[in-house]
Structure 1
Amino acid sequence: MIALTGGKILTMCGKNLDYGTILVRNNKIWAVGRNPDIPPGCRVIDVTGKIITPGLIDAHTHLGVESEGMGWAGTDVNERSEPITPGMHTLDAINPADLGLLEAYQGGVTTVMVAPGSANPIGGQCVILKTAPKPIVEQMLLQRYAGLKIAFGENPKRVYGADRQKMPVSRMATAALIREALWKARHHLAKQDDKDFNYDLGLEAIAKVLRKEMPLRAHAHRADDIVSAIRIAREFDVDLIIEHGTEAYLVADMLAAEKIPVVLGPTLSTRSKLELKDKTMETPALLYRHGVPFAMMSDHPVTPSCFLSVYAGLATRYGLPVHQALKMVTCDAARILGLDDRIGSLAPGMDADLVVWSEDPLMLSARPEIVMVDGRIDFLQEKALAE
């Protein structure tokens, strides 16, 4: 058992403690309080003057499937041979030795959602990982079926229409291809009890969406693309999460009314294409004011995951309340990922994923001094603590 004592604890699920103790037993949080009983033989780490938060959650990345420093050899994020590839799964392409994963962990990001890219109208299945370094990706796995990636807007049009003169050339075609695949999967489900049923890997992936076993994760920047995603989700009665949501503030009332979450970002990027021309750093504050559930992404490697706390801090400069800035990379991100019963807050029974910061984590100068995942501290941190 480990006891972290003396730190300011930001629980993200109730009252914060200006001075408290967290007890960790095996891979779970055992107790959180001002003066919980510390069992004999417990390892005590004094973190007086530090701030303890849940491990940060990056709700949309391409970590491991677009490995840093490897060029084309490490790029496995898009299967560009066909526009509809629901049977693809990021789990089969993740390189657990990607330096980006290690840096995310060292930056206090303990959980990441890894998605395929947005070249295809339907690109494949997403996965959720813990970031603590492991040699085998299954040892990092938190959730295997985290969503089916679909994409609207410029990317599918450019990859297939502009580059190859292959469907989709237009936004109409992108929506039609997605809709057609959903209809095929619905028919596939209806035929599962037939004697001559033929299993189809891609259709079975979409069937998980129709059964509400995982959501659609819709890459959509422009407001009309966001509305197209909502329209299709309504038609098929499926769960939907908007990814990126650059113009989500323009349809915030609709998103709030439908209770559709947005994973927003990357905010610290340029207007690199036309559908980003109305990007604003005020979007987090605008979504908050309208009551839209939202989290923040890095979209790594577009912007580095390890600086997620910096992106959250910058949102406060443009009107987002400080408490909400931390929530969008902890408890609110966990809720959108469907894992708020395990991660995103500090309470008994939760996974022991936490960060000890040198100061307020939203400050540019804040430094993660201890990063714990599933109750474990890595070798280099252990060495520093011993010194």
Structure 2
Amino acid sequence: MADNTFALTGATVLPITGEAVPNGTVVVEDGVITAVGGSDTSIPSGTPTHDVNGKYVTPGLVDAHTHLGVHEEAAGTQGSDVNELTDPNTADVRALDAIFPADIGFDDARSGGVLTVGIMPGSGNIVGGQAVAVNTHGRTVEEMLLREPTGVKSALGENPKRVYGGKDKKPSTRLGNAAMLRSAFVEAGNYLAKIENAEDENTVERDLRNEIIGKVLKRELPWRQHSHRADDIATAIRVSEEFGYRLVIDHGTEGYLIADLLAEKNIPVANGPLLTSRSKMELRNRTLRGPGLLHQAGVEVSIITDHPVIPINQLITQVILSIKAGLDRDYALRTVTINPAAMMGIDDKVGSLESGKHGTLCVWSGDPLDIYSEVERAFIKGTEVDTSGA
């Protein structure tokens, strides 16, 4: 029988999209979940069965915004490939091409139950590049890959102002940020129109930047907008409505100040990192109450680490502290499972325990929302992976 076929029995199973199942059973065959249910769930003959009585089983945690593998830990500038700071618009760069699978951060991720991550280019440019979703174990990116691209990273606020203003180039103000953002969409729209109007679209010279932004304009990919302050979030909304693309707010530090607006417009927020100091002006209103206030207003919330800003194994710690600060406990695990999976378009594969999804899951020593609980075992596509950490 295949190594990625097994059954777990006796645990409290938290499917995320359904009710908790005490004394539950999860069956994985050839890396895919085939059954989730109670103690009477049928297990195919010959399936290796692990009694995990007293434990908890959850889907692997998902962090939709990290720089794992592109901003390596303990590697200095040699290991930093996160920001291509040579042009305000680098839509053509792909995080996929810079991921170092042996980054020790991947070991830490698994130790904290984080089995799936979104890896983003950095936030120094107005258009930073293309994000990717991967599992946190593999020798090559191709072994880890779940979806590419999952969206296009863009930044508003202080970062592009600082980077290019310091070079006496545009943008150096929020005026310039917004103008360059609009210009990127106008240019991509013109490119799409040229293709549409050409007798033979193959005669139009390819433009990798405009191709990918064109996919955003066609709503094939979300626009992942780095924005902290409420005014930058409002600008992001304004521009998205001018051009009609799908918007996701990343960070959203002051999103709770306009949570009703975000909810009204059905804009999800990848909120965090939540444990940083208020190291710059944009973070002065950072609060652990943010996720709870956003959720109370009706916003779909994910919690992120922005690793290595916050060590990725502390993702669940941020969730626990957010509960303490007011986040609904029954909703909390959704912020690090199905919500970020949906944000990246991989919720058909991960983010919940359902038949047909990948056997990517964790066995916890106790309730995962108890600070004392640890990840004892983890499986990615049904194959057990090391959780001992770096």
Quick check: TM above 0.5?
Answer: yes
Q: Identify which range, 342-351 or 68-77, moves more after superposition.
A: 342-351
1:218 aligns with 2:225: yes
Distance 2:368 2:383 in 1: 21
Which residue in 1 is equivalent to 2:36?
A: 32
Structure 1 residue 201 corresponds to structure 2 residue 208: yes
**1:337 Cα offset (Å):** 2.1
Residue 149 (structure 1) aligns with: 153
How far did residue 83 of structure 1 move? 1.2
Could you say what secondary structure the match of 1:340 adopts? coil
Letter in 2 for 1:58: D
Deviations 1:206-250 (A, max 9, x none): 111111111110000000000100111101100000000000011
Which of residues 100, 115, 122 is equivalent to 1:117? 122
Q: CA shift at 1:336, angstroms?
A: 2.1
Aligned-pair distance for 1:334? 1.8
TM-score normalised to the size of structure 1? 0.96
What amino acid is the match of 1:255?
A: L
Is the 1:223–1:251 contact (alpha carbons within 8 Å) kept by the matching residues of 2?
Answer: yes
1:340 aligns with 2:360: no
User: Out of 7, 12, 17, which is 1:13 matched to?
Assistant: 17
- Decide whether the 8 Å contact of 1:310 with 1:363 is kept in 2: no
Q: Report the number of matched residues.
A: 379
- In structure 2, how many angstroms separate the alpha carbons of the residues matched to 1:80 and 1:11? 42
Deviations 1:44-66 (A, max 9, x none): 11100000011100010001100
**Which of 170, 173, 187 is matched with 1:170 structurally?**
173
Indicate whether 1:238 and 2:242 are aligned. Answer: no
Which of 275, 289, 295 does residue 296 from structure 2 map onto?
Answer: 289
Partner of 1:180: 183
The DSSP-based 3-state class of the residue aligned with 2:139 is: coil
Task: Give unpaired runs (5+ residues) of structure 1.
Answer: 382-387
**3-state secondary structure, aligned to 1:339:** coil
C-alpha RMSD of the superposition: 1.2
SS at match of 1:179: helix
Q: Structure 1 residue 380: deviation in Å?
A: 7.5
The SS at the match of 1:364 is: coil
Residue 313 of structure 1 pairs with residue 313 of structure 2? no
Partner residue, 1:70: 75
CA distance in 1, matches of 2:242, 2:97: 31
Q: Which amino acid aligns with 2:12?
A: K
Question: Which runs of at least 4 in structure 1 moved beyond 4 Å after TM superposition?
Answer: none
Q: Name 1:384's counterpart in structure 2.
A: none
Q: Name the counterpart of 2:163.
A: 159
Q: Tell me what 1:135 maps to.
A: 139
Query: Any unmatched runs of 5+ in structure 2?
Result: none
| 2:87 alignment partner in structure 1 | 82
1:57 maps to 62
> 2:241 is paired with a residue of what secondary structure?
helix
> 1:282–1:3: structure 2 CA closer, same or farther, 3 Å change rule?
same
Do the aligned residues in 1 keep the contact of 2:146 with 2:346 (CA within 8 Å)?
Answer: no
CA contact (8 A) 2:378 2:387 kept: no
Instruction: Give the TM-score, by structure 2 length.
Output: 0.95
Is residue 323 of structure 1 aligned with residue 327 of structure 2? Answer: no
Q: Is the 8 A contact 2:56 2:365 kept in 1?
A: yes
Task: Say whether residues 1:97 and 2:102 are aligned partners.
Answer: yes
Q: CA deviation at 1:378?
A: 2.5
Q: Which amino acid in 2 is paired with 1:368?
A: V
- 2:91 aligned counterpart, secondary structure: coil
The correspondence for 1:351, drawn from 338, 354, 358, is 358
* CA distance in 1 between partners of 2:56 and 2:141 (Å): 30
Aligned twin of 1:385? none
Instruction: Please say if residues 294 and 336 of structure 1, whose CA atoms lie closer than 8 Å, have aligned partners that are also in contact.
Output: no
User: C-alpha separation between the residues in 2 aligned to 1:123 and 1:256?
Assistant: 26
Instruction: For 1:339 and 1:60, locate their aligned partners in 2 and report how far apart those are by CA, in whole Å.
Output: 14
Q: Indicate whether 1:254 and 2:261 are aligned.
A: yes
**Inter-partner Cα distance in structure 2 for 1:344 and 1:99:** 23
Structure 1 residue aligned with 2:6? 2
| 1:100–1:332 Cα change, 3 Å | same
Cα deviation for residue 33 of structure 1 reads: 1.2
Q: CA–CA distance in 2 between the matches of 1:349 and 1:264?
A: 29
Q: CA deviation at 1:278?
A: 1.1
CA–CA distance in structure 2, aligned partners of residues 280 and 136 of structure 1: 37
Q: Give the Cα–Cα distance (whole angstroms) in 2 for the partners of residues 158 and 61 of structure 1.
A: 22
Deviation at 1:279, TM superposition (A): 1.1
Q: Conserved in 1, the CA contact under 8 Å of 2:110 and 2:136?
A: yes
Taking the aligned partners of 2:45 and 2:182, their CA distance within structure 1 comes to: 61
Q: Tell me the residue number matched to 2:277.
A: 270
Equivalent-residue separation in structure 2 for 1:215 and 1:311 (angstroms):
25
C-alpha separation between the residues in 2 aligned to 1:40 and 1:123?
51
Q: In the TM superposition, what is the alpha-carbon distance from 1:111 to its structure 2 partner?
A: 0.7
Write out per-residue CA displacement over residues 63-90 of structure 1, whole angstroms, 9 at most, x where no aligned residue: 1100111100000000011111110110
User: Shift in Å at residue 3 of structure 1?
Assistant: 0.8
Structure 1 range deviating more: 100-109 or 151-160: 100-109
- Rounded to whole Å, the distance in 1 between the matches of 2:387 and 2:206 is 48
